[in-house]
Amino acid sequence: SPRLHAAAYGVLGLDWEYGRRQVTADAFADHLADLDATWRGLSLTMPLKTVAARTARSLDSDARRTGAVNTFLLTDDGPHGFNTDVGGLARALAEIGVHAPGAVRVLGAGATATSAVVSAARVGAQLIEVRARRPEAAEPLRALGDALGVELSVRAIDDDTIDSVDATIAALPGGTDLGPVADLLASGSGPLVDVVYGGWPTPLAQAWSRAGVAAHDGLGMLLHQALLQVRVFVRGDPDRPLDGEDAALSAMRTALVGD
């Protein structure tokens, strides 16, 4: 993230610094209170996303729907929370050719899976199937599906009934190995986006490769959610494009993957 943001600010001509620090959930409130007016905002990762959602003065629609905040815009009247993971994943899906999919399968039931459901609806999915090791953990997502106006079903991850879908989003812990279940899921499951940033190819990606279907890591999501964070820090709104955005995105992509 520091490389991504530094690349964008360099192109945009902003003399801004972006660093990183490790903060526990218990210490978050104290760290936040210690920030002075020189701070424009924060990027947040787990376990701070849910704490930030409870702390924010306001939440954008994606943060409200998911209960997670990965971006704080710091203002005089307090921190305003955004979830750019949703838009970042939606943009990454579009970039690999997933447009208006009829059906999308989401693997997992945690916070990232919740964002994945909203992202799938954002790119036009009408049917979303959520698969989880504990289906009961995914039951709250049914209400989210209703709010999004999509049909959402929940199944066990090892259910051997495999319906054809247009894309699969894996929101499981990095390195998760589902064994033979992965090969079963790869059949008729469309391209895979496994939202992990390291340890590639993952066992899931290897299963998709055996099935002759494309698999993509989480770097596209990382890139695009960072661009939306830059919009928040510069414009105050993830939906307002930057002046010179194409050049900024190009510089960020180079910083992420090289020339």
Question: Order of strands, edge to edge, in the sheet holding 215-216?
Answer: 151-156, 127-132, 103-107, 167-170, 192-194, 215-216
Residue 79, strand partner residues: 74
Catalytic-role residue among 49, 65, 224, 231: 49
44 labelled catalytic: no
Q: Find out whether 169 and 144 touch, Cβ atoms under 8 Å.
A: no
Rounded CA-CA distance 100/66 in Å is: 21
Rounded CA-CA distance 64/118 in Å is: 11
Task: Tokens for 153, please give them.
Answer: 């079903």
Task: Tokens for 34, please give them.
Answer: 């210690």
**Neighbour count for residue 149 (Cβ, 10 Å):** 8
Rounded CA-CA distance 98/95 in Å is: 7
Q: Which residues are catalytic?
A: 49
